[in-house]
């Protein structure tokens, strides 16, 4: 966890990593994964454009961009956050803000 937080997430101070809650780490991890997926979508699009624009035999080409290079995003179902989870998040966020304001 520490090496990932300092390396991939780019957190410079070890104290910030050690003070981070597991929930905060998970939030940063989800953001990191989302950013990585967006980067792969760009790579896939560039590869797809170079494939369809290279005058290859249309019978040998993939039918669509997902067949050309499938990503995890293509297979995921979008789930919505429940009202109970939203309320829980807002409660935890208020607690976090209180702690930050008391320490700052």
Answer yes or no: are the C-beta atoms of 68 and 48 closer than 8 Å. Answer: yes
48 neighbors 65 (Cβ within 8 angstroms) = yes
Mean pLDDT per 10-residue interval, the chain, length 104 residues: 75 78 86 89 86 74 80 67 88 88 77
Q: Centre a 10 Å sphere on the Cβ of residue 5 and count the other Cβ atoms it contains.
A: 20
Query: Domain boundaries in the chain?
Result: 2-103
Residue 31 has a pLDDT of 87
**Res 22: pLDDT:** 86
pLDDT of residue 73: 65
62: tokens are: 């993939």
Q: Tell me the DSSP string of 36-70.
A: HHHHHHHHHHHHHHHHHTS---TTTS-SSHHHHS-
Residue 78 pLDDT: 59
pLDDT, residue 75, reads 62
């Amino acid at each position: 966890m520490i090496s990932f937080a300092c390396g991939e997430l780019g957190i410079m101070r070890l104290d910030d990593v050690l003070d981070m809650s597991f929930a905060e780490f998970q939030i940063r991890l989800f953001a990191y994964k989302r950013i990585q997926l967006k980067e792969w979508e760009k790579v896939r699009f560039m590869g797809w454009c170079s494939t369809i624009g290279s005058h290859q035999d249309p019978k040998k080409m993939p039918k669509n961009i997902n067949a050309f290079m499938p990503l995890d995003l293509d297979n995921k179902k979008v789930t919505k956050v429940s009202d109970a989870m939203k309320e829980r998040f807002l409660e935890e966020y208020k607690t976090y803000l209180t702690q930050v304001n008391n320490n700052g």
